[in-house]
Chain A
């Protein structure tokens, strides 16, 4: 299966089911209103993040746009101290500005994992797609079957393992288990399979080593699908929550998602939604930006992975 076909979706349908103008308007209204509906939570998040706490506690909420403030972000930045200042910014003392470190931790972990995933997944995907070695089918289907194991089954043993390996509260505990992914291998295999074998045969005849073929011929040709996979892995890791929450101990090592969950109840007897939503904006904004710029790739990735060729 090659993904190029997916671009010009449904041309056939379109010719056949041309709708009358009278039908088009209601269709658009319906579709747009549903889109808005699923967008309400996101809008509400932005609104709450930029409104003062007091405006939201009124009934009905005071949605006066002149009230917009970045007070919540200021408080978020100051957490856990009183006031934010760059001189007090520290990783280990966590005097103020921990959120910056959470952000960097998240970014670091997501990018490291993405790099590893891209490399190892394409390596394995290439072998599964182009090399006919004994045991290929068996190993490939074993890998696919592991997709069925619920993450919760391995949660406890993995946790015990990490403790015994001395990796509790270390970034390695998050990086190591996910340096390769089944989804990625599957995606790469599907894509590489659809490429013609001529080039690599030629290179092989010219005496190029197997690794050389992979690096010099396969990888450059895979750039589009690597972009897709990279985005997916990055977003997945950025949004990862349960495992980091369990395996990270000190506040300075938290990722943004884990940190946000502790923001849920900063003070014992008070839930401050404003700060929470400000945190949510900080966590969601980069991903939203990535999506808006690279939406084409997102959609390609979904269709390559979702429909088996």
Chain B
């Protein structure tokens, strides 16, 4: 026994030492550490060169250590936002020039460190993109723009002439695209589309078209959003027409990721696209690809790559009659606030090296970007495509520069998505976009004003937390005192039981500090305007914001309810059925199936979600490939294909009707339970309940909450299945159901195991009695097994509901809430408010709404389904 104790203590102490080592920051104290963050650069060239620069810099300054961290393109920006909001930012960061950082006063103004010679050498457009309110906050490194990339092989195949010098008007463009959209093998489906593009928040590939009729995002002084102007609306209309009127665009443009899905299609060997809107990086990427093919690079040989002749062209000229080019912005290096002047000087030296040295500028060749220093000249030599690029660069419109830019971009782009997927008409969508953006803008101005005028008390997080902990401590002491004093002999009780209190103290302490305190803090945050410098109390404003939040009420809550209403009953039903089938089997097979069904459940949800995303991939995913193969096999035989598509046409109605009836039946039983709990009804009235007013309400929930959304997604899904290609996660009508499908196809292992255990405990005497009375297996199952395992059903119901109210990670990985807001659940809306927009107050208010929902539903379920049956 002593040995075990000794061993346990040994392990514990070992772990604590490890912990201390693990948490210790490495690096010697006497060295100046420069923390550099950057997004991933081309792997074999620029990234290596950067490491070289750091090494040389360390050699040159022996007392300096450069610590480099790579951000990811997908989540890097957000990570940076979090670190800025929490005051834990790096020293130098690549491509981090954001006005919101300027407002938070975390960036060093750099004007005094730029010599006039350097300034004269820079491209003024690029420098301007690094300025806010006439101060420079970053060293520009490269410029980027969006172009139209043409697949010349398809142009040749259809005998269409490319635009001369890459310049074309909109009408010419549409004309050519129509010719380029065709059915290559004559099987009735279109194999090649003219143009591929996608709309997604944070991307801007198609924005050249949106700008082309003179539309803009803001008015000139950035005080109003003008995306509802006729000029801009006609730009959106153009994109819409490409897909729906001229039918020349890759379908589901509203849900596609421009540089992912669209680009993959463009590269695909089947040549399904004649042209695509892309960033200028595409030019160099294609060039390198062709080079690799020519040099018989193993990657190209293995992948069986085919050379792709391409050409870069401008965005088609719109009603303004001028070339308009959109741009994602300027690559740059910023320096975050430094208190130590020596370190600041070092940072500036390093950042300049990274951005402006001749080598740095030449590195642009690897990514196909445009150097910002004029003296570097043409790094691309005599190449027609780069002539087009520099020509396009003359008319570039840099993205709007506003502290709330990211948020407003998201609001507008999601609305354009909604319009593109036929959820709304364009004017309505744009009006709504303007309304929400103007709200943000006026809020921003009001808050900026209020922040300067506000003189009331401010509480930093530290002060708030100190206050809360004092309050909780006092309260706990009070409760303990009252409880003790109520005992007849307090001291004696304490003496007898102090061990028990000591035993539970560590756990209670953890829960108090890391659960109770945050909950109370969250309650307070909901009434505050949060700011790191000091929060002010603003009453119910956050809740008003939640109440006025269209996304929260139109998408987050309905999506969550829909998901719960379908998934929870489905999970319980399937586990009940599976368990009932497994229960009579031999012990060994029971063990086998229990393990087999539970196995996928131990793998983390995010991995499962990643796999499903891959399975749902529009072009390379397992599902679409299988479907495509199947449908293509079937098509030549109309007597197979006809019934197949006919079956698919009626299937959605059956499924959604069945689901709605099922949900209605369940809810009605629940409701009947409530009524009969207190006053048993005579048998007749038992059925009359189904006709009462609340029953109509339940019916309404079943129709509105289940039947309509389910059939709305199943109809297009089945339609697309018949076509051989489904936009599982890219079509907003289908996406949520696809996510649910991924959950349904996995057997509910936990539920099966619990039901099996519960069924094993049902006394066999009951079954024997029933058998003597002549009851068959199904009757016994329904009248004995199902009622007796009710506690397990209740447990699964409550846990399932809580779990599905909190669904998040899976959706974050699979769709990130899109397209539009089609798959945004409650928790994602909280997460976005909190960790993407940094409105902790509103996020807390939303979280409280979620909490209230969870509590109400669980209490209801517990109260009315709790079984009185004891056996």
Partners in one complex: yes
Q: Which residue of chain B is the closest to A217 with respect to CB atoms?
A: B1
Distance, CA A57 to CA B834, complexed state (A): 38
Q: Contact: B791 with A307, CB < 8 Å?
A: yes
B51, B518, B851: residue with the most chain A Cβ atoms closer than 10 Å: B518
Q: Which residue of chain A is the closest to B522 with respect to CB atoms?
A: A157
Distance, CA A149 to CA B516, complexed state (A): 10
Are A169 and B753 CB-contacts (below 8 A) given A48-B614, A156-B834, A160-B840? no
- Chain A neighbourhood of B5, CB < 8 A: 215-216
Complex interface bits, A277-303 against B, C-beta within 8 A gives 1, otherwise 0: 100100110011011000100110011
Are A261 and B753 CB-contacts (below 8 A) given A82-B44, A94-B70, A299-B598? no
Are A151 and B806 CB-contacts (below 8 A) given A39-B600, A133-B501, A135-B483? yes
- Chain B neighbourhood of A94, CB < 8 A: 68-70
Q: Which residue of chain B is the closest to A245 with respect to CB atoms?
A: B75
Q: Contact: B484 with A134, CB < 8 Å?
A: yes
Q: Which residue of chain A is the closest to B594 with respect to CB atoms?
A: A299
- Chain A neighbourhood of B487, CB < 8 A: 134
Of A239, A246, A249, A277, the contact of B604 (CB 8 Å cutoff): A239
Q: Contact: A288 with B1, CB < 8 Å?
A: no
Of B603, B756, B759, B805, the contact of A287 (CB 8 Å cutoff): B603
- Chain B neighbourhood of A158, CB < 8 A: 514, 518
Are A156 and B844 CB-contacts (below 8 A) given A6-B757, A307-B758? yes
Q: Taking the nearest CB of chain A, how far is it from the CB of B832, in angstroms? A: 12
Q: Tell yes or no: A21 within 8 A of B by CB.
A: no
Of B462, B522, B596, B758, the contact of A154 (CB 8 Å cutoff): B522
Q: Tell yes or no: A44 within 8 A of B by CB.
A: yes
Q: Contact: A308 with B607, CB < 8 Å?
A: no
Distance, CA A284 to CA B597, complexed state (A): 16
Q: Taking the nearest CB of chain B, how far is it from the CB of A229, in angstroms? A: 14
Q: Taking the nearest CB of chain B, how far is it from the CB of A69, in angstroms? A: 10
Distance, CA A284 to CA B604, complexed state (A): 7
Are A115 and B15 CB-contacts (below 8 A) given A10-B590, A249-B83? yes
Q: Contact: B497 with A134, CB < 8 Å?
A: yes
Q: Contact: A298 with B598, CB < 8 Å?
A: yes
Distance, CA A249 to CA B83, complexed state (A): 8
Of B75, B500, B760, B805, the contact of A150 (CB 8 Å cutoff): B805
- Chain B neighbourhood of A157, CB < 8 A: 517-519, 521-522, 525, 844
Distance, CA A103 to CA B760, complexed state (A): 40
- Chain A neighbourhood of B848, CB < 8 A: 153
Q: Taking the nearest CB of chain A, how far is it from the CB of B34, in angstroms? A: 13
Q: Contact: A60 with B629, CB < 8 Å?
A: yes
Q: Tell yes or no: A193 within 8 A of B by CB.
A: no
Q: Tell yes or no: A66 within 8 A of B by CB.
A: no
Q: Contact: A41 with B754, CB < 8 Å?
A: no
- Chain A neighbourhood of B260, CB < 8 A: 269-271
Q: Tell yes or no: A84 within 8 A of B by CB.
A: no
Q: Contact: B625 with A61, CB < 8 Å?
A: yes
Complex interface bits, B7-29 against A, C-beta within 8 A gives 1, otherwise 0: 01001100100110011001100
B79, B511, B626, B858: residue with the most chain A Cβ atoms closer than 10 Å: B511
Q: Tell yes or no: B667 within 8 A of A by CB.
A: no
Q: Taking the nearest CB of chain A, how far is it from the CB of B377, in angstroms? A: 26
Q: Which residue of chain B is the closest to A232 with respect to CB atoms?
A: B602
Are A153 and B603 CB-contacts (below 8 A) given A160-B840, A302-B754? no
Q: Contact: A41 with B608, CB < 8 Å?
A: yes
Distance, CA A196 to CA B682, complexed state (A): 48
How many residues from B make CB contacts under 8 Å with A?
Answer: 158
Q: Taking the nearest CB of chain B, how far is it from the CB of A115, in angstroms? A: 6
Q: Tell yes or no: B568 within 8 A of A by CB.
A: no
- Interface residue ranges of B596-630 to A (CB < 8 Å): 596-600, 602-608, 610-612, 614-615, 617, 619-620, 622, 625-626, 628-629
Q: Tell yes or no: B493 within 8 A of A by CB.
A: yes
Q: Tell yes or no: A139 within 8 A of B by CB.
A: yes
- Chain A neighbourhood of B23, CB < 8 A: 170-172
Complex interface bits, B251-267 against A, C-beta within 8 A gives 1, otherwise 0: 00000000110011000
Distance, CA A235 to CA B756, complexed state (A): 23
Q: Tell yes or no: A205 within 8 A of B by CB.
A: no
Distance, CA A163 to CA B530, complexed state (A): 15
Distance, CA A270 to CA B40, complexed state (A): 12
- Interface residue ranges of B426-478 to A (CB < 8 Å): 461-462, 465
- Chain A neighbourhood of B596, CB < 8 A: 35, 39
Q: Contact: B72 with A264, CB < 8 Å?
A: yes
Distance, CA A8 to CA B753, complexed state (A): 13
A interface: dominant SS: helix
Q: Which residue of chain A is the closest to B799 with respect to CB atoms?
A: A306
- Interface residue ranges of B784-804 to A (CB < 8 Å): 791-792, 795, 802
- Contact size range, A: 35 or more
Q: Tell yes or no: A17 within 8 A of B by CB.
A: yes
Q: Contact: A251 with B69, CB < 8 Å?
A: yes
- Chain B neighbourhood of A10, CB < 8 A: 583-584, 590, 756, 759-760
Q: Contact: B600 with A42, CB < 8 Å?
A: yes
- Chain B neighbourhood of A290, CB < 8 A: 602
Q: Contact: A268 with B15, CB < 8 Å?
A: no
Q: Tell yes or no: B159 within 8 A of A by CB.
A: no
- Chain B neighbourhood of A283, CB < 8 A: 604, 607
- Interface residue ranges of B730-764 to A (CB < 8 Å): 745-747, 749-750, 753-754, 756-764
- Chain A neighbourhood of B851, CB < 8 A: 149-150, 153
Q: Contact: A115 with B86, CB < 8 Å?
A: no
Of A5, A6, A153, A219, the contact of B522 (CB 8 Å cutoff): A153
Of B264, B507, B587, B809, the contact of A124 (CB 8 Å cutoff): B507
Distance, CA A134 to CA B88, complexed state (A): 46
Q: Contact: A126 with B503, CB < 8 Å?
A: yes
Q: Tell yes or no: B114 within 8 A of A by CB.
A: no
Q: Taking the nearest CB of chain B, how far is it from the CB of A281, in angstroms? A: 9
Q: Tell yes or no: A185 within 8 A of B by CB.
A: yes
Q: Contact: A133 with B500, CB < 8 Å?
A: yes
- Chain B neighbourhood of A262, CB < 8 A: 72, 74-75
Q: Taking the nearest CB of chain A, how far is it from the CB of B726, in angstroms? A: 15
Q: Contact: A128 with B504, CB < 8 Å?
A: yes
Q: Taking the nearest CB of chain A, how far is it from the CB of B466, in angstroms? A: 9
Q: Contact: B855 with A148, CB < 8 Å?
A: yes
Q: Contact: A134 with B768, CB < 8 Å?
A: no
Distance, CA A125 to CA B43, complexed state (A): 53
Of B70, B604, B756, the contact of A80 (CB 8 Å cutoff): B70
Complex interface bits, A97-131 against B, C-beta within 8 A gives 1, otherwise 0: 00000000100100110010001110110111001
Q: Tell yes or no: B777 within 8 A of A by CB.
A: yes
Q: Tell yes or no: B154 within 8 A of A by CB.
A: no
- Chain A neighbourhood of B791, CB < 8 A: 307-308
- Interface residue ranges of A187-203 to B (CB < 8 Å): none
Are A280 and B611 CB-contacts (below 8 A) given A127-B504, A158-B518, A164-B462? yes
Q: Which residue of chain B is the closest to A34 with respect to CB atoms?
A: B747
Give 11 A-B pairs besides A120-B507, A239-B606 with Cβ atoms closer than 8 angstroms. A19-B584, A44-B615, A54-B299, A80-B40, A93-B68, A124-B503, A131-B499, A133-B501, A241-B605, A249-B79, A269-B260
Can you sample 29 A-B contacts with CB below 8 Å?
A5-B760, A13-B583, A13-B584, A17-B583, A34-B578, A41-B608, A59-B619, A80-B47, A94-B68, A105-B22, A150-B847, A150-B854, A154-B522, A156-B525, A156-B834, A156-B840, A157-B521, A161-B514, A164-B462, A177-B514, A210-B503, A216-B1, A257-B604, A266-B72, A267-B43, A268-B281, A269-B260, A295-B595, A306-B757
Please name the 9 residue pairs, one residue from A and one from B, whose CB atoms are nearest each other, closest first.
A12-B764, A54-B303, A9-B760, A239-B604, A157-B521, A154-B518, A210-B499, A157-B518, A127-B503
Residues of chain A at the chain B interface (Cβ within 8 Å): 5-6, 8-19, 27-28, 30-31, 34-35, 37-42, 44-45, 48, 52-54, 56-61, 80, 82, 91-95, 105, 108, 111-112, 115, 119-121, 123-124, 126-128, 131, 133-136, 139, 143, 146, 148-161, 163-164, 168-172, 175-177, 179-180, 182, 185, 210-211, 214-216, 219-220, 235, 238-239, 241-242, 246, 249-251, 257, 260-262, 264-271, 273, 276-277, 280, 283-284, 287-288, 290-291, 295, 298-299, 302-303, 306-308
